[in-house]
Structure 1
């Protein structure tokens, strides 16, 4: 048995962007429809088409934010997503998961047997738990208020810090999703210094689908001004809570003392891994060191009032050294946001400045 012929243009697989698996949306003895994300941040669906005794045939379907939301909400069918795509890429995959025989085509050129049916909606009974969760998490508008004297580098730094904080909180909130938990475990395990700290946030960003990414709905600066983002309310609330907490002088002083204490412990025990370091010190972690590092992790969760995430965070396949490193990488970014908050240059809130639009 062989696959059906697909008309189109053959392309070199090396020219296909790298895609990061995000979630399986339909599964029946194996994934039938999965959500991936490209290096450029675009969503791509992998839809199963056909199989032989040794190979499977799949179709890549690029999908925009609004259409992905429509599909998850049951308003658009899979067929409509196929039809709306400017292009489709059909490819084969063997047992080794190696992809081959790429053909760039269109919906009209697909054999009828490969076209989804008119009634190919994502219903509750066929949706995976991950798909149902993606559908439930709905975005809303949120404001980053801007005021007083700001420079162009400030307008670059603040959104970057906010994106990194959002990615981290998204990871904490979605540790139950395999792609999120696996990504965090992988980047934590590969820590080698400052570059790996950046990878933590970019890695988590890679498993945030477009429907959950902070989307800029409006950007205005006339002192006062604002950035209006469409994003997940829970993530916004978590960032706001952490930012407000660190603006409290007593809490900030406690965190700074804690940070210096951990840094001193790292130096005394020859442990590498702070952001300004460029080498990894391989070391056998004794029981005493592990116990102290676990205590540091517990203290940080306690000070940040994150106890609800502690159990799932501990379930990540990462040791206590890797855990405290990622927490302190988060803290360094939150700390950079603090001067803007304290000075009133930046404020956070759902309805802030809504009336001044």
Structure 2
């Protein structure tokens, strides 16, 4: 087991360890060791070059049992939601892109197959995906339809016993390395989900480059041109947005914990730097303005983690609603990016170097604020829950 924070005073003030079970702390320690050994030493290069060995990382993460770890059966670990949350927390303390790899694999692609797939789809894909031998991606967002997925133009038509898919998906994590894509498409019978092997004729994935965020992550555009699939490629029961939105709630849950990992790592970096940096003859940490910043950020990390753990306990118990997860994502992403930016100010000019994490976390969190529902979408979800009035349409 390891402490919640590497900084002893931050760990003492936040005092999260006593709220975690031994298993949850063990998971955090396991992920921290993996990131220390295989991720952190390489992050400055990966971020600078916008290149990451994602398949190699997926294999290592699969060997640790982290891929789809909160799912039962089919080679999955069957861990608690809170243990999965702590894994996301520690992954994102390293980098949001690494947590995204795990989230898309486990909470989007694997969860979609596990929750909505046929027994044949589950047995074909889930054991290999859990082991990291197969990588998945999740095709929902389109170039013109992000927050409004109901308007998607990708469509699937019946042709005899087959399905034929045409369309484009955008901003797809793991897209160019995936062996299987879960693709959502309009049909004559509402929106349906399809399990699409990426070696199917007509399927093409092109990497999106020139990103200023999530540079240690694979992002792609998917094109489907007359992609012909057998009748059993479709999810058998689910229709409409219920299917994809259930998957987004799973991914959002991990982000609630993950965003606080990026915030915690930024704060730890700022604390260490302020203690060693001499300004006008004494440590930077000895000045009132710096202490005020550090105190305020510690408050927000504490509150964000308490909120994440509360949602985790709900999910492991009676259940957590999508609106409650929206509350967690909205708050924790908003506070995490503010913390990363404030920590950058404490580092001064050194803060713009990839030698230090806050500027990288701040850049990544620009994307985390947007994907799996923008902050504005989550505000409207909460507004609808509070007033009973939908402001979406």
Name the TM-score class by shorter chain.
under 0.3
Calculate the TM-score normalised by the size of structure 2. Answer: 0.24
Calculate the TM-score normalised by the size of structure 1. Answer: 0.26
Q: Which has the larger radius of gyration?
A: 1
Q: Which has the higher helix share?
A: 2
